[in-house]
Chains A and B, each alone.
Chain A
C-alpha cells in the first residue's frame, strides 16, 4: 500500500504525539513537547506562505504577538473568554495581513519580506512602549483558559503539562490537516504554480496577487493562533514574542526542516526548539551554534533536512 504525503504526514504526527510521552523521563518534557507543537503550528503557516506561494515574511512574530496579547488583554478589558480571544487575535491578524499584503503583493520580489519586517517591528515596538496597556517589556499575565477544569469535572484528570501537550498537539494536527488539504486543493495547486513561475501562472489566468494575499493571510492566522497558545500555556507573555528574532526563528525552523513539506517544517521546529534546551549547558555558545547551523544547512542541504534525507533514501532522485 502506498501512502499519500498527506496521510503519511498525519499518521506520523499522530504516532509522534501519542507515543512520545512513553519515553518522557519527567513531566518537564511535556512542556518542551507543547512548545514544539506551538512552534510547529506557526511554521506550518510559513510552509504555506514560503514553501508553496514562494513569499518570504520576516515579520510573522508580529502576528504571534497579536494573538498572544489578544489573550492577555481581551479577557481583562472586555471580559471576553480566552478561547474567544484566540479567535479575536486571529481575526485582527488576518485583517492586518490583508491590509499590509494587499498593496505589497502586487509587486514582485522580496518586497513582502521588507514590508513584513517593518510591520513586525512596529508591532513589537507598540507592545514594548504602550505600558499603560501592555505593561511594556516586563510582560503581562494571561488569564487561565479554564478547559482543564472542565475536563477534570468530566472525569479526565491531566497535569498542566499533559493538558497543554495534548491540546497543542491536537491543534497542530488540525493545522497540519488543513494545510495539507489546502495543498491538494485548486488554491494550493495554483499557489505552487505561481511559485514555479508567476508569469506562467498569470498567463493561464490566475489572479496571482490574490492568491499570494490568501497565502499571507492564512499563514498570519497560523502564527496568531500559535502566539495565543503560547500565551495561554505560559499564563504570561512578554513583547519578545513579537520580536524580530522570533520571526527569524520561524522562517529558520521552516527552512531548516524543509520549507516545502509540512512534516519537514515541523521537524525543523522540533530541532530548533530542542537545541536551546540542549545548549543551556553551553549557553555562551548558543548564538554561535545557531548561526553556524543556519548557514551550514542552507549551503549543504538546500531543500532542508527532511526532503534532502528522503531523497537520499529514495536513491538519488534527480
Chain B
C-alpha cells in the first residue's frame, strides 16, 4: 500500500511538470496554431539561468524571478524573429522552425553556460514528509503547488480579465477577433511570453529534484506534447489532466513494470490516444467548412 502511494506521489510530482509544459504548448497552439517544439528549452532555461544567477551571488528567489522574466523575453523574441515572419507558411515549415529554434537555443545554452549537470538547493530543505509510510520531498509540494497556482491564475486571467478574454477570442477566431478591435499581434506576443514564462517556472521548481543541463529540453518537450495530446490539443483543462495522467502512468510503470521503459509510457499513450480517441480526453470534435 505504502509502495503504491509512493509511486503515486512521485507520479503526481512529475505529472505537475508535464502539465505545465503541456499548458505552454496549449497557450501557443491556441494563439497561433503552432506546435512549439522549443517548449522544453524554456524549461531548461528556467533551471539553467537560475543556477547561474544563483552561483553569481543572487539570492535564490531573485535568481528564479530573473530566469522566468528572461525566458519570457526570449519567448517574445522567438515569436518576433522566427514565428511572425513565417506567418502563413505550411505546417511542415512551422514545425521545422520551432525545432530549429529549439536546436538553436540548446546550442546557445551549451556555449553560454556549459555542458555540466547542475542543481541548486531545494526551497525548503530536503527533509521528507512521511505520509502513510510513503515519503514526499518538500520540493515536490512546491512543484505541485506551483502548478496548481499557475492553473488557477490562468483560469482567472482567461475568464475574469478583458485581456484574457481577448486571448480566448483570438484563439477561437483570429479574423473575427481582429474585426472587433483586438490587437491580435499583441495577443500572440503575450501568449509566447506566458508560455515561455510558465515553462521557465516549471524548470525552476523541478531543478532541485531532477537537476538540469543544457540538453534536458527535448525529452520534456516530447512528454509535455504527449500530455497535451492526451488531454486534447488546445484545451488547458486537458493539459492539466493529461499531464497528471501521464505522470501517474510513468510513476506506476517505473514502479511495477520496468524503470527502463517508464519513458515508453508517454509514447504508447500517444499512439493509443490517436488510435482510439484522436480528439484527446477533452478535445472538441471539429468539422471543417469547405
Cβ contacts A226-254/B at 8 Å (1 or 0 each):
00000000000000000010001001100
Tell me the minimal C-beta distance from B280 to chain A in angstroms. Answer: 11
B128 interfacial by beta-carbon distance below 8 Å: no
Residues of A241-288 contacting chain B, CB below 8 A: 244, 248, 251-252, 255, 259, 284-288
Cβ contacts B80-100/A at 8 Å (1 or 0 each):
001001100111111111011
Whether A287 and B222, one on each chain, are in contact in the complex, defined by CB atoms closer than 8 angstroms, is no
A132 interfacial by beta-carbon distance below 8 Å: no
Cβ contacts A78-108/B at 8 Å (1 or 0 each):
0000000000000000000000100110011
With a cutoff of 8 Å between Cβ atoms, the chain B residues found around residue A58 in the complex are 95
Tell me the minimal C-beta distance from A125 to chain B in angstroms. Answer: 5
Cβ contacts A121-139/B at 8 Å (1 or 0 each):
1100100010000000000
Whether A295 and B274, one on each chain, are in contact in the complex, defined by CB atoms closer than 8 angstroms, is no
Whether A288 and B92, one on each chain, are in contact in the complex, defined by CB atoms closer than 8 angstroms, is no
Whether B103 and A290, one on each chain, are in contact in the complex, defined by CB atoms closer than 8 angstroms, is yes
Top 7 A-B residue pairs of the complex, sorted by shortest distance between their CB atoms:
A291-B104, A294-B100, A287-B107, A288-B107, A291-B103, A118-B270, A118-B267
Whether A125 and B263, one on each chain, are in contact in the complex, defined by CB atoms closer than 8 angstroms, is yes
Complex: A252 Cα to B100 Cα, angstroms: 9
With a cutoff of 8 Å between Cβ atoms, the chain A residues found around residue B268 in the complex are 118, 122
Complex: A284 Cα to B112 Cα, angstroms: 11
With a cutoff of 8 Å between Cβ atoms, the chain A residues found around residue B90 in the complex are 302
Name the prevailing secondary structure of the A interface residues. Answer: helix
List 29 A-B pairs, Cβ < 8 Å. A104-B274, A108-B288, A110-B91, A110-B95, A113-B95, A117-B270, A118-B226, A118-B267, A118-B268, A118-B274, A121-B222, A122-B271, A199-B288, A244-B218, A244-B222, A248-B99, A255-B96, A284-B110, A289-B107, A290-B103, A291-B102, A291-B105, A291-B106, A294-B100, A295-B82, A295-B97, A298-B89, A299-B82, A302-B86
Whether A294 and B107, one on each chain, are in contact in the complex, defined by CB atoms closer than 8 angstroms, is no
Tell me the minimal C-beta distance from A312 to chain B in angstroms. Answer: 19
Whether B89 and A125, one on each chain, are in contact in the complex, defined by CB atoms closer than 8 angstroms, is no
Whether B96 and A299, one on each chain, are in contact in the complex, defined by CB atoms closer than 8 angstroms, is no
Complex: A108 Cα to B290 Cα, angstroms: 14
Is the interface on chain B under 10, 10 to 19, 20 to 34, or 35 or more residues?
35 or more
Complex: A248 Cα to B107 Cα, angstroms: 16
Complex: A118 Cα to B102 Cα, angstroms: 19
Whether B278 and A111, one on each chain, are in contact in the complex, defined by CB atoms closer than 8 angstroms, is yes
Whether B104 and A287, one on each chain, are in contact in the complex, defined by CB atoms closer than 8 angstroms, is yes
Tell me the minimal C-beta distance from A61 to chain B in angstroms. Answer: 14
Complex: A118 Cα to B222 Cα, angstroms: 9
What is A's interface to B at a CB cutoff of 8 Å? 50, 56, 58, 100, 103-104, 107-108, 110-111, 113-115, 117-119, 121-122, 125, 129, 199, 244, 248, 251-252, 255, 259, 284-295, 298-299, 302
Residue of A nearest to B263 (CB): A125
What is B's interface to A at a CB cutoff of 8 Å? 35, 82, 85-86, 89-97, 99-108, 110-111, 218, 222, 225-226, 229, 260-261, 263-264, 266-268, 270-271, 274-275, 278, 288, 290
Whether A251 and B270, one on each chain, are in contact in the complex, defined by CB atoms closer than 8 angstroms, is no
CB within 8 Å for A298 and B86 given contacts A244-B222, A290-B103: yes
Complex: A122 Cα to B103 Cα, angstroms: 22
Whether A252 and B96, one on each chain, are in contact in the complex, defined by CB atoms closer than 8 angstroms, is yes
Whether A56 and B100, one on each chain, are in contact in the complex, defined by CB atoms closer than 8 angstroms, is no
Complex: A290 Cα to B107 Cα, angstroms: 9
Whether B35 and A110, one on each chain, are in contact in the complex, defined by CB atoms closer than 8 angstroms, is yes
With a cutoff of 8 Å between Cβ atoms, the chain B residues found around residue A248 in the complex are 99
Tell me the minimal C-beta distance from B76 to chain A in angstroms. Answer: 16
Whether A115 and B271, one on each chain, are in contact in the complex, defined by CB atoms closer than 8 angstroms, is yes
CB within 8 Å for A56 and B101 given contacts A117-B222, A118-B270, A121-B267: no
Given contacts A104-B274, A129-B261, 8 further A-B contacts (CB under 8 A): A107-B274, A113-B95, A121-B267, A129-B260, A291-B100, A291-B102, A291-B105, A294-B97
Residue of B nearest to A195 (CB): B90
Q: Find the residue from B92, B94, B108 having the highest chain A CB count within 10 A.
A: B92
Tell me the minimal C-beta distance from A237 to chain B in angstroms. Answer: 20
Complex: A56 Cα to B98 Cα, angstroms: 15
Tell me the minimal C-beta distance from B180 to chain A in angstroms. Answer: 28
Residue of B nearest to A108 (CB): B288
With a cutoff of 8 Å between Cβ atoms, the chain B residues found around residue A121 in the complex are 222, 263, 267
Complex: A100 Cα to B266 Cα, angstroms: 16
With a cutoff of 8 Å between Cβ atoms, the chain A residues found around residue B263 in the complex are 121, 125
Whether A259 and B267, one on each chain, are in contact in the complex, defined by CB atoms closer than 8 angstroms, is no
Whether B274 and A302, one on each chain, are in contact in the complex, defined by CB atoms closer than 8 angstroms, is no
CB within 8 Å for A298 and B271 given contacts A56-B95, A129-B261, A290-B107: no
| A104, A286, A292: the one within 8 Å of B100 (CB) | A292
With a cutoff of 8 Å between Cβ atoms, the chain B residues found around residue A299 in the complex are 82, 85-86, 89, 97
Tell me the minimal C-beta distance from A254 to chain B in angstroms. Answer: 9
CB within 8 Å for A291 and B101 given contacts A199-B290, A251-B96, A284-B110: yes
Whether A298 and B111, one on each chain, are in contact in the complex, defined by CB atoms closer than 8 angstroms, is no
Whether A114 and B270, one on each chain, are in contact in the complex, defined by CB atoms closer than 8 angstroms, is yes
Whether B97 and A114, one on each chain, are in contact in the complex, defined by CB atoms closer than 8 angstroms, is no
Complex: A266 Cα to B8 Cα, angstroms: 49
With a cutoff of 8 Å between Cβ atoms, the chain A residues found around residue B82 in the complex are 295, 299
